[in-house]
Amino acid sequence: MKRWVVALAAGWAVLVVSAAGGSGKELFERRCTGCHALDRDKAGPRLGGVFGRRAASVTTFQYSDALRKSGVVWDRATLDKWLADPDSVAPDNDMPFRATDEKERAAIIAYLKEISGK
C-alpha cells in the first residue's frame, strides 16, 4: 500500500510540472528571457533576487514612472498579479507581456523565489 501512495504522489508531481508546460526554470527561460536575464539588464530589468525586492529598485535599469511610484514589493501574490496583468499592479507601465496560464505563473514564481533564496 505504501509503495502505491508514493508512486501516486510521484506521478502527481510529474503531472503538475507537465500541466504547467515544464519546470519553473524551463518556463522562465522560454517565456521571460527574451526581455529578462537573472544577472543583467536587458529590455527588462534583471530578475535574480526579485522575490522580496521592492519594484523599480535595480539602479541600473530605467523603469516606467508607474512602476517607480507603485510601492510594490515582489512576493507570490504581487508577482502573480503582475504576470497576469501588469496594468492591474501599475497602470501605464512598460511591460507588454501577459502570462494567462495560472500554473505557468505559479511555476515561474516558484523558480524566482527559489533562486532568490527565499
**How far apart, in whole angstroms, are the C-alpha atoms of residue 85 and residue 96?**
9
For 64-104, how does the pLDDT look when each residue is reduced to its tens digit (9 = 90+)? 999 999 999 999 999 999 999 999 999 999 999 999 999 99
Q: Domain residues for 22?
A: 2-115
Query: Which CATH number covers residue 11?
Result: 1.10.760.10
Angle at which helices 102-115 and 76-84 pack, to 10 degrees? 130
Residue 1 predicted with pLDDT over 60: no
Q: What is the mean pLDDT of residues 20-27?
A: 84
**How far apart, in whole angstroms, are the C-alpha atoms of residue 118 and residue 107?**
15
Residue with cell 533564496: 117
- Give how many domains the chain has, as a whole number: 1
Residues facing 54 on adjacent strands: 73
pLDDT interval class at 21 (50, 70, 90): low
**How far apart, in whole angstroms, are the C-alpha atoms of residue 24 and residue 108?**
4
Q: What is the mean pLDDT of residues 109-117?
A: 95
Q: What is the mean pLDDT of residues 16-42?
A: 84
pLDDT at 118: 78
Q: Any idea how long the chain is?
A: 118
Mean pLDDT, the chain, whole residue set: 85
Is the separation of the CB atoms in 16 and 9 below 8 Å? no
pLDDT at 54: 98
pLDDT interval class at 22 (50, 70, 90): confident
